[in-house]
Amino acid sequence: MRPTTVVVADSGPIFRSGVRHLLTREGEFAVTEAEDFMGLARLLESEQPDIALVDDELPPAGGVAAVAQLAPRAGTQLIVWSFAPSGQSVLAAIGAGAKGYLHKSISPMGLIRSLRGVVNGEAPLARDLATLMVAAVHELEQRDRVRERAVVLSAREREVLALVARGARNREIAEELSISEFTVKRHLQNILHKLDLPSRRAAALFYRSAFGVERVTTTGGTR
């Protein structure tokens, strides 16, 4: 039977050697290694392996960027893995074209089972990673909904709200936008009314949840 060909794309030589040792011992896998994107791209081109295990931090631009570039033209099943996966990283990898996502702290047998599953057309994704991914999708949907609500604001009101979200006081906003404090207050009242929000603090939270702005102190540092 032809062995399943696997590329281990990872900048860590000790980790690569561990994966190689495991898979080679099993006998059903033939393993090659790449330490960066260029090495991976070359191997996909020349060897056309069945599976590539791609480190989420593969140099130079990361595993997701590598998958986004390679997935459209590769027949290889690209699996991203990481020591510290997050919902966003799993979502980004799958969105870029990865077939699955694994913990690098996976057990040897777990890795073998996952790779056998890929050969049989399965998409490896640990249960906790699936949960993280679903949460990330919900977070994105929530952000989109919040952004849609912000459409009712005028350009100037959005500028004011952005500064409120950064922790600026009315006087500072007035100076920044070259308007009077009275006008700032009027814009704020309109913002609260249009978004149906109870307070300046709620408006700031609204903006941060929609656009991810960090609060900034008046001296310039983030809080």
Partner 1 sequence: MSVDAVKHAIPLVAVVSAVPLLVEAVEGALAGMAEVRSFPAGSGDTAGFLRFLKPDAVVVDSLEEAQQAISFARGAGATLVHVSLPDQRLRLLRAGGWIEYVNGSASPERLRSALAAGLLGKARSS
Cβ–Cβ < 8 Å for 49, 32: yes
Q: Does 13 bind partner 1 (CB under 8 A)?
A: yes
Stretch 14-43 residues interacting with partner 1 (CB under 8 A): 14-15, 17-22
- Region binding partner 1 by CB under 8 A among candidate stretches 99-107, 125-133, 150-158, 179-187: 99-107
Residue 71 DSSP class? G
Asked whether position 12 contacts partner 1 by CB under 8 A, the answer is: yes
Say how far apart CA 177 and CA 163 lie, in whole Å.
10
Draw the binding track, 56-95, toward partner 1 (x: CB under 8 A; -: no contact).
---------------------------xx-----------
Which residue's CB is nearer to partner 1, number 102 or number 160?
102
Among 2, 27, 75, 107, binds partner 1 (CB under 8 A): 107
| 8 vs 133 by CB, closer to partner 1 | 8
Q: d(Cα 33, Cα 36) in Å, to the nearest integer?
A: 9
103: amino acid identity, one letter: H
CB of 118 to partner 1, least distance (A): 17
Q: Please state the closest distance from residue 22 (CB atom) to partner 1, in A.
A: 4
Q: How many residues belong to the site for partner 1 (CB under 8 A)?
A: 19
Please give the span between the terminal C-alpha atoms of the chain, in angstroms, as a whole number: 60
Site string for partner 1, 169-188 (x = CB under 8 A): --------------------
Nearest-approach distance from CB 36 to partner 1, in angstroms: 12
128 touches partner 1 by CB under 8 A: no
Indicate the residue type of 66. A
Cβ-contact 89, 135 below 8 angstroms? no
Strand ranges in the chain using DSSP code E only, listed in sequence order: 4-9, 29-34, 51-55, 77-82, 100-103
Pick the binder of partner 1 from 39, 59, 108, 167 (CB under 8 A): 108
Give the one residue of 30, 41, 65, 106 binding partner 1; rule: CB under 8 A.
Answer: 106
- Cβ contact 62:40 at 8 Å: no
Peptide bond into 3 cis (omega under 30): no
Those residues whose C-beta lies under 8 Å from the C-beta of residue 81, and which sit 6 or more positions away, are 53, 54, 55, 56, 63, 101, 102, 103, 104, 106
Give me the residues that bind partner 1 (CB under 8 A), please: 11-15, 17-22, 83-84, 104-108, 111
